[in-house]
Structure 1
Amino acid sequence: MPVTTRSAKQRPQLSVKHTPDKDDAGKSHKSKRRRRTRAAKPMGSSDTENAPLLSGLPALPLEIIFELFASLKPVDLANLAQTNGAFRATLTSPQASIVWKAARKRTANAPDCPPLVSEVPWARFIYGSFECLKCGRPGIRNLDFALMRHVCGVCKGRLVDARTLRKEMPSVDPVVLELLPHTTFFDLRFYWPADVRAIAKIYGGYKRNVESQMAGAKKMLQEYRKERRKHVQEVLEHAKKCQAWLKEFEFALHDELDERSEQRYQLIAKRFVELGYEWPDIHAMRDRPESKHDGTLSEQVWKRIRPVLQLDIEIARCKRLDRFEARTIRARKALVKRVYYAYRQTLRPIEWIHLPPADYVYVIPVFRSLIYTHIDVPLEEAACDEAARRLPEYISAFRNTLKARLLRSMTDSRRGSTTAARTSTRPLRGDARLSLATSVFTLTTSSGSYLERCFGFDDLTAQLAYRGEVGIQSTAFWVVVHDSEGGDITGHGLSYDLRVSKTVESLIAALGLDPETARPEDLDRLEKRVLCGSCQSMDWPGLAQLTDQAYSWRSAILHYAHIHNAALEAQTWRILTPDECDIVRRAEDAQKPALQSMWSCNHCIAYAEQLLSHSAVQSHVREEHNIAEPEEDVDFFHAHPTVRWNPQPQSLSRSLRLARQGTTGQVDDGDDDEAERSVTCVVS
């Protein structure tokens, strides 16, 4: 007999359930509300004109309906049963049992319904929301088939058991627990409170009938208890079978998740193919969570995940072409480097210190396109010259973007830290904050193993320029610097270091300056050397030499961050005397003479590539530019300040001994004692 249905104006609308993505989750409630609103519109509204073709389905013969339902999963049938009364009547009829059985068989061969449970709630229980009914915790995969509820382990231990029954439900007869299915947790039996109350109410009715001496009441109570015990036994046996099946079902769920994830990955990959990328590079995003997420790929989701995935693909393309098209890529980079160096020569040489290196220019999108696309077409110099016209704009954008990223990192770090940073009495903004010595940033390389601390914005840009000059960083690093907005991507990181910033505050105060205004160049000009008081107060076998190391202020901070993990306990420093500082600096200069030839002229580029010593560059300025008294940072400058201001730490006792040896021509054994006495003097 055909299933009856409502009028054509109120046709059922079938919906497909999916897992919402992060950006879709916030809209699910609203969309549901809109669907209810449309269903409530009066007959004759325009919505009925767009009703799905499936609206006539309930009018078909049952044989045809069941044939159509044969490919649906149990959860789809449950959803369909809740569409309207006609579908519910059809799917809950005895004839529909064959459809449900077939659906369960296709889905990991799920067990039949337990006693007294119908198909729809059984499908909802197995395939529906996996959230704890007590606390709402998601991902409860260990279904409790005896209780027929999703409940986490913590909440299981808070259910009713024989020990807590009298306290929580003093009016309930303990015999009631024998009439209820139970779950086992740590060898204890637990019962669902609502079930206990429901059965207690029925059992109490039988008890009252017995107490009122109703005819046959005792027999009815005995039969009820017998039926309930039998029911409990059947439920527990069924639960035992289901538990064995559950493991197989987990594999089926995992396979289904993999299938959906692969479909999503292919959709994303297809979009990148349409953008012009090649499959070998696209596969670099495969392990990204964004490409494996179980959810629909809406336009809003695509807009959010595209920059993250595209970064990995860009890096993969650059790496591949750098390797397999090395000759072509090198030739193209040489053309770009030529136009970039031509632009640099329009600036004062001292400005080069903070310019991004050529390796960064290679990954600016317009130049990246010239270098890494259309490999089979020769690159014309005119194209590079045309792109170079906007170099001032690109470099300005680089600086502004980097500043914004650093300030955002500072804000996020201070907000998320339980150790609040110093509260300044003179709040600073933007460039002023980034110019302070306490603005410490940690730079992580592609391997994630090499850390560098940068003190303020100028120090960071100088470090980046030097790294590019000596070729420390890979193309991948510069792609991340340009394309990412922040955070740690593919092992590259740049973030504010709040703990080390507190260490810098301590040292600045010890040097007699104000941490709220002191800049790195202020500390550099002091040219002080210090000993670490924390090392001297600790008895470390094998590391006794650390108590004798004289550091510049930068190397002292790096030492404290590495050895003492920037601990926030009371920090002590011993500031060396002016004579001791001078002796240590001479020892530093003698350590690596090659580092002394890093000076350049600020009036010409004659020695921009082949740097001079301090005395040689002064002679050049006097002779070539007729300046009688050359001034540092005006007429000449140090081309690599990150090297100059971070010398190798020196042994104070050895430096004192060598200084005495250089004066007298022999080593006085008493000098060691004098040095040791000097080292033991530590002040906060």
Structure 2
Amino acid sequence: MSENAFRQNCGSEALIDYYGPSLPFLFLDPAEICQLNGIYLPLRKYDALFRGNYLASHVSCRLRQEAASHRPRFTDLGAIFSLPLELILEIFEHLHPIDLYNLTRSSKSIRALLLAANCAPVWKAVFQRHPDVSASPPGVSLPKWVSMLFGPSTCDKCGHPEAMIDFAFLKRLCNSCRDVHGVRQPRFRSYLNVNNKSVYEEDFRDLVRVSYRYDAMVYPSARGYHGPQLYFREEVEERERQIRRFMAAIDANEPKAAQKYQEFKTETAVFVSESMKCARTCDAQCGMIYHGIQQRQSELTQQWKRQLMSLGHNHDDITRSQEDIHLTLLELRITRLTKKTFKRSWPAIQRALAPVTGKRLVRERRIRMEQRRLRVKALYQAYQRSLDPTDWQYVPDVGRIYGIRTIFTWISSELEDDLLVEAMRDDVPLYVERYGAYGRRQLSRIFAEQHPLLDLDKDPLQVAAAVFECPLHLPINDKSVRCTALIGLEDASLHFDCVVPKNSDLKAEDFDPEIKFAYSLAGFKTMEHLLGLLGLDPYTTLANDLETLDARFLCMVPDCRQFSGSDKGRFAMTLKECVSHAARYLDHPPQSFEPLSEEATESVIWQEAACSLSHFSKFCWSCKHCAEHFVCPVPRDDAITHVKESHSVADPVENTDFFYTRWKNNQQRTPYYLPLDPPMTYRCSQCFEAGNPRLWDLERLKAHLHDK
């Protein structure tokens, strides 16, 4: 950034004068700082085919192809220079401009000969014989023009190797130098205003050449001439000085100063117009060559794709790695597909294909494994359907079936279905049996440790005294679900998945001390106390019979944490919910639970029946005679209707013709709260005789009787 530009952007002369001496790089451009510190940008930005002067490479390649078709060919050209000078110059007239350029670089004597004034007709004749080469712009000699066209693509300012000639400025500028020595379109007006406000006129742009290139190696297309514009800083400053002198002469009233100024603008505008016309022609020619190289490389990539497919490579792999193959061919400068180039580039092509092929194989393996898992799942569901419907909820999840050694081997391999059928017939029933035996043996061991002297005629895991806790669903850690204490074998069987090891070779005798059920002493004491209030014994009462007890209890602990902040009262709990509550809150003794009166219990049960069940509790009924409801259990009424219509059972019986499907931690009903200090309530005698035991307060009872 120049000092004047910085002063304009900053807007405070005092600030600049104060901080300027302490900032040594204040007025330096990034490129100048890099140059002072020896920091150079990467030399190679483009692929190998575009790094040099691709215009000269294209012309030379075309001339070599034309020369190869000419016969005979003379390899000893030294005899030509023994001829008279007139004949030598006449021979030179038949050469291409790039040949003359190469001759000027061959030796000093030939260079002096070709650059002499008497060789000007030779240069004109050469350009006339090759109209495909663009004519030189105004003010540029033909030898200099040839050097611009076919010379090395090195920056005129810093020597960077990637800088094609800019036909607007007739300079080779790399991307860094374009920013340093150019003025962008948005800064053009401000730049002129900073230097001399009187210089800027509406037609000043017609007096300077403009470049539409966005890169040092790429030329604009027809659409590119509507993009960002770049002006050459030195030319802008030179025009500024020239116009300033004309303005000074006009202000001094010098003779014909205004006329000379108008002639200057006219001549300069014509020069700029002709230069830009030539620049557009050359830009179009170089742009076609650039895109032609890209097109040939794309065609070469397509040839490689066809060659790879003929060798048996996967079409999707080749398509996904097409860009990598293209870049590999560019890096190796491969322009043709021959046996030699194939052998040279084959290792690099294989490296480009390897990651894509590996990802495809992984993806195909994952899809194949998923398809095989679905196959195993379908067969496992067919096996489950063959079991007693009441056992569906206690068999292991299908994820454990995937882990059986033989089935896992089949899923992970490409073996035939015979192995799967054999494994499903032999290994799955054996694993299901071991799965249940492991959980039952662990429960029996834990119960025997707590009651070593107990001798029951019944299965000890079926009685109400068998109160357990799941290690992954401890009541003390789970505050969101009420029924988390596991009472009896059926409740605990739903949590076998939490304690049974993932090892498919497990045995019932194995025991993992880290993950196991725990016996709930607090739950057992509460169970013993509440059953005692009902006149029952926990060692003789079956766990399944607890669901049929029409008894409700309240926790009378002051400020019970389960009901904190609730103004509805206390939750009327079943016996199983009281056991879970005691296991969750260990500071609540068994004596803190009080049973409701017979009238209050009947009213609560009626209120609970009137409340809607949760979705999971409503759709939990299945037929016990068939597998109709294996996938989707239905409401109780639908299950009864199915048994009547499909199995011709006139009066279906629960647990005989249809049954309730248990779920882990299932919230079966909507909580019903009783106030601790209820007002006086009444019962409608007419409704009670009809089987409605609801209790009313006095005002609602009056309205109810009025409706009657």
Q: So what's the TM-score if we normalise by structure 2?
A: 0.39
**For the pair shown, which has the larger CA radius of gyration, 1 or 2?**
2
